[in-house]
């Protein structure tokens, strides 16, 4: 079998949306204490419909070594194939203190830091599956955030502008160009997160 990102699991339908996939949400895992600094623990996660279990997954978390924290995912695909692979965890430091956790997507040639993984055969980000959000309003604010992240990377930042922008003008870039791009990035990030907050509330 090929690595993550190869094989038939990577095919998609243009009509697929995020609502069609089981999801692993970082905010939920952190809230339940599944992911936090300096732990080694194992457990399981279930999805239910009408009170009945429809899918489950096992996990093993190791954040003792914060230079390379990870969550190991273990489950059965299509009731026949045993799947076992590692998703590395990333952290950022919000300006107000503490640690914010992200999944490092293991999709082929991806590596994005994301807050949600979607389960087909493997759990990867929505970009890898080319999933649309379920409403056009969601898609609009998501595009704004993606564009803001892209501009931030052009300006020497890691791309995560949710917690603030700490980049410096890249060598060789004209100051007026830098200022224009930074203003555009901040506008898109503000509008995108405002839309996300209106849709998801306190999650953001």
* pLDDT, tens only, 113-152: 888 898 878 899 888 887 765 554 555 777 787 788 788 8
| pLDDT value of position 197 | 65
> Of 13, 23, 67, nearest to 45 (Cα)?
23
Instruction: Judge whether 87 and 123 are in contact, CB under 8 Å.
Output: yes
| pLDDT value of position 201 | 53
| pLDDT value of position 198 | 65
Domain chopping of the chain, boundaries: 8-129, 136-199
Element (H, E) at 123: strand 123-124
pTM for the complete prediction? 0.58
Q: Which residues, other chains included, contact 73 with Cβ-Cβ below 8 Å and sequence gap of 6+?
A: 57, 58, 59, 83, 84, 85, 86, 87, 123
Can you list the residues of the chain whose pLDDT is less than 70?
A: 1-20, 78, 95-97, 132-139, 157-167, 196-204
Crossing angle of helices 175-200/136-154, nearest 10°? 150
Distance, in Å, from the CA atom of 144 to the CA atom of 168, rounded to the nearest integer, reads: 22
Q: What is the DSSP string of 35-97?
A: S-SS-EEEEEEEEEETTEEEEEEEEEEE-SSTTS-EEEEEEEETTTEEEEEEEEEEEE--TTS
Q: Which residues, other chains included, contact 3 with Cβ-Cβ below 8 Å and sequence gap of 6+?
A: 108
| pLDDT value of position 10 | 33
């Amino acid at each position: 079998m090929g690595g993550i990102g190869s094989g038939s699991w990577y095919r998609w339908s243009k009509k697929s949306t995020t609502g069609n996939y089981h999801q692993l949400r970082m905010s939920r895992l952190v809230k339940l204490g599944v992911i936090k600094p300096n732990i080694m623990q194992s457990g399981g996660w279930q999805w239910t419909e009408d009170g009945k279990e429809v899918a489950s997954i096992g996990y093993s978390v190791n954040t003792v070594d914060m230079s390379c924290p990870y969550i190991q995912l273990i489950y059965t695909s299509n009731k026949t194939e045993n799947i076992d692979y590692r998703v590395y965890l990333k952290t950022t430091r919000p300006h107000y203190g503490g640690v914010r956790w992200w999944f490092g997507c293991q999709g082929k040639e991806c590596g994005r830091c994301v807050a949600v993984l979607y389960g087909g055969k493997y759990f990867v980000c929505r970009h890898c599956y080319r999933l649309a959000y379920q409403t056009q309003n969601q898609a609009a604010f998501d595009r704004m955030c993606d564009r803001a992240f892209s501009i931030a990377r052009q300006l020497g930042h890691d791309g995560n502008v949710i917690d603030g922008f700490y980049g410096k003008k890249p060598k060789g870039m004209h100051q007026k160009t830098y200022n224009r791009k930074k203003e555009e990035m901040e506008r898109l990030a503000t509008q995108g997160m405002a839309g996300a907050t209106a849709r998801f509330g306190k999650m953001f």
